[in-house]
A and B are shown apart, each in its own frame.
Chain A
Amino acid sequence: MGKHAVHGALGVAGLFGLLLLWWLGVQLFGATDGLSARFSPQATFSSLIELLGQAEVYEHIWVSLKRILIGLLLALLIGVPLGLLVGSYRHLEAATTPAFQFLRMISPLSWMPVVVMLMGVGDQPIYFLLAFAALWPILLNTAAGVRQLDPRWLQLSRSLSATRWETLCKVIIHGVIGHVLTGVRLAIGILWIVLVPCEMLGVSAGLGYFILDTRDRLAYSELMAMVLLIGVLGFMLDALARGLHRRWVHA
């Protein structure tokens, strides 16, 4: 318990250090009454409090979270079955690994123009791009989970005359859930990073849209408040995913 408390305190101290650096940066490199003052922590925090008092920002947060959720669900729907297949068959794995590694290394954002041309503006291209970004960690972790299954469990299920389907449902899926959750955690990190630039294109709600909106309104302290909010929400999402993973692994 003591160790946890010390680590927690150090973490909080680190966050305050970051805040101090931010403040120092603005103080040292900006003119006191110029544009840069609007990027200072003081201005940002007062804008943030003001924004949180309005309904509008919650709508943007909700829209963004909904997109994350849908993107993640799509990635799970495709990635888990595909990962189970790839993990189960050595030849399929050999055949697909280079292709997956190739696709994985293309930033999802570079597909944006293509996707918008094919799907039009709106939510659809965002769902597609998010699912595409989240697919790889989920797929690759699921496949790794299948390969690391305890062979004794498979032997047991064979000795009980299990069909392939029964082995899949009763043993393999349970056995890989821990790995899938690791994939989900990595995917959430990537999703959150990809989401904001995705939302800067052809949509009229969401955190990314709101960033551009504040820029166009020259509301720079609000822009910084949004940057801060995106960081805080991402931090919370990651903590949630980690908590979920820990809960499962301990059980």
Chain B
Amino acid sequence: MSEVLLHACGISLGYPREQGWHSVLEDFDLQLAPGEVITILGPSGVGKSSLLRVLAGLQQPRSGSVSLLGEPLQGPHPRLAVAFQDPSLLPWLSLESNVAFGLDFARQPKLAASERRARIDQAIEAVGLQHAREQYPAQLSGGMAQRTALARCLARQPQVLLLDEPFGALDEVTRADMQQLLLQLIARHNTAAILITHDIDEALLLSDRVLLLGNHPARTLGQWHIDLPQPREQQVEELGALRIDILKTLRRASRTPEPDSQPMPLPPETAHVPGRLHSHSS
């Protein structure tokens, strides 16, 4: 095993109920290598967002542990950047100030003024918003706001980027643009990323590895390595086969009445099954 950036081990999530505990997710393991892009895929309600909050140090799991570069993660870490479902821009700050927000916080690494300036400029340029740097969030479109949120993450030059369905609220075209932008940025900065999504196509297009969550309480139903080069849109056959395989795994799991007694299906490390890429219909 090569170097591990982020290591999650035996994570369980749940919430207390009147009697006992309602378990949402059990026994989640993950190892993120430098430069790797992992997608955590799963239907709504399997605790994906909570899981991301745990990986970001924003929430404690019911059990299990997360470590970053071998150190246990005690809380939010300067090496980790999180992009939420919502851009979460501060309405009283201009786009530029929103991108810069947090750079000079006491727990962030100290930056010289020139370095700070350069990082903000680069981040804004990377997401193509130089023309709008003086604008306020109320004046930005949904796509621009999400780009700004991404730039805010980039300016911190994180080693790990955690993304919680960041393009969920965008229209198809903007979404495709943002996906391409994300891939470029990850490649350029050699950032590792964990992306939460419920969209199989997004997972197939973006990631090196897909982790599928499902069932109640949720578990990892399988994982797929995708070693296809970018851009992937042209490799319809291979992606289609993977897509069918993922859907089958999900269906098989949802038919299982008692999840605890079912051994996890072990999918092949890298699947190349002939097939066609279907439009998202499930």
Given A159-B58, A161-B75, A174-B92, residue A152 in contact with residue B84 (CB < 8 A): yes
Q: A-facing mask of B56-86, CB < 8 A → 1, else 0?
A: 1010000000000000000111100110101
Q: Does A160 contact B108, Cβ atoms closer than 8 Å?
A: yes
Partner of A174, one of B77, B90, B105, B156: B90
Asked whether B17 is an interface residue with its Cβ less than 8 Å from the other chain, the reply is: no
| B82: chain A residues within 8 A (beta carbon) | 159
Given A166-B105, A166-B106, A170-B101, residue A161 in contact with residue B77 (CB < 8 A): yes
Which chain A residues in 147-162 approach chain B with CB under 8 Å? 152-153, 155-162
CA distance A153 to B137 in the complex (A): 13
Q: Does B92 contact A163, Cβ atoms closer than 8 Å?
A: no
| B90: chain A residues within 8 A (beta carbon) | 153, 156, 171, 174
| B75: chain A residues within 8 A (beta carbon) | 161
CA distance A159 to B86 in the complex (A): 14
Which chain B residues in 78-133 approach chain A with CB under 8 Å? 78, 81-82, 84, 86, 88, 90, 92, 101-102, 105-108
CA distance A152 to B75 in the complex (A): 17
Q: Does A152 contact B102, Cβ atoms closer than 8 Å?
A: no
Given A162-B102, A163-B106, A163-B107, residue A156 in contact with residue B76 (CB < 8 A): no
Partner of B105, one of A152, A153, A155, A160: A160
CA distance A98 to B65 in the complex (A): 44
With CB as the reference atom, state the residue of chain B lying closest to A167: B105
Q: Does A152 contact B88, Cβ atoms closer than 8 Å?
A: yes
Partner of B58, one of A152, A158, A163: A158
CA distance A155 to B77 in the complex (A): 14
Asked whether A28 is an interface residue with its Cβ less than 8 Å from the other chain, the reply is: no
Partner of A161, one of B78, B86, B88: B78
Q: Does A156 contact B77, Cβ atoms closer than 8 Å?
A: no
| B86: chain A residues within 8 A (beta carbon) | 152
Asked whether A251 is an interface residue with its Cβ less than 8 Å from the other chain, the reply is: yes
Give the shortest distance, in Å, between B104 (CB) and chain A (any CB): 9
With CB as the reference atom, state the residue of chain B lying closest to A174: B92
CA distance A158 to B80 in the complex (A): 12
| A161: chain B residues within 8 A (beta carbon) | 75-78, 102, 105, 107-108
For B102, B106, B108, the residue with the greatest tally of chain A CB atoms inside 10 Å of its CB is: B102
| A152: chain B residues within 8 A (beta carbon) | 84, 86, 88
Q: Does B76 contact A158, Cβ atoms closer than 8 Å?
A: yes
With CB as the reference atom, state the residue of chain A lying closest to B83: A159
| B108: chain A residues within 8 A (beta carbon) | 160-161
| A162: chain B residues within 8 A (beta carbon) | 102, 105, 107
Q: Does A155 contact B88, Cβ atoms closer than 8 Å?
A: yes
Q: Does A156 contact B107, Cβ atoms closer than 8 Å?
A: no
Partner of B102, one of A155, A160, A251: A160
Q: B-facing mask of A159-195, CB < 8 A → 1, else 0?
A: 1111100100011001000000000000000000000
Give the shortest distance, in Å, between A148 (CB) and chain B (any CB): 14
Q: Does A251 contact B76, Cβ atoms closer than 8 Å?
A: no
Q: Does B106 contact A159, Cβ atoms closer than 8 Å?
A: no
| B56: chain A residues within 8 A (beta carbon) | 159
CA distance A161 to B84 in the complex (A): 15
Given A155-B58, A158-B58, A158-B76, residue A163 in contact with residue B105 (CB < 8 A): yes
CA distance A157 to B77 in the complex (A): 12
| B102: chain A residues within 8 A (beta carbon) | 156-157, 160-162
Give the shortest distance, in Å, between A169 (CB) and chain B (any CB): 11
CA distance A152 to B106 in the complex (A): 21
With CB as the reference atom, state the residue of chain B lying closest to A250: B138
| A166: chain B residues within 8 A (beta carbon) | 105-106
Q: Does A156 contact B84, Cβ atoms closer than 8 Å?
A: yes
Q: Which 7 A/B pairs are nearest by Cβ-Cβ distance?
A: A160-B102, A161-B107, A152-B88, A156-B88, A161-B76, A159-B82, A174-B92
Give the interface of B toward A (CB within 8 A): 56, 58, 75-78, 81-82, 84, 86, 88, 90, 92, 101-102, 105-108, 136, 156
**Residue contacts A-B, CB under 8 angstroms, 17 given:** A152-B84, A152-B88, A153-B90, A155-B84, A156-B101, A156-B102, A158-B58, A158-B76, A160-B102, A160-B108, A161-B78, A161-B108, A162-B102, A166-B105, A166-B106, A170-B101, A171-B90
Other CB < 8 Å A-B pairs besides A161-B107, A174-B90, 6 of them? A152-B86, A155-B88, A156-B88, A156-B101, A160-B105, A251-B92
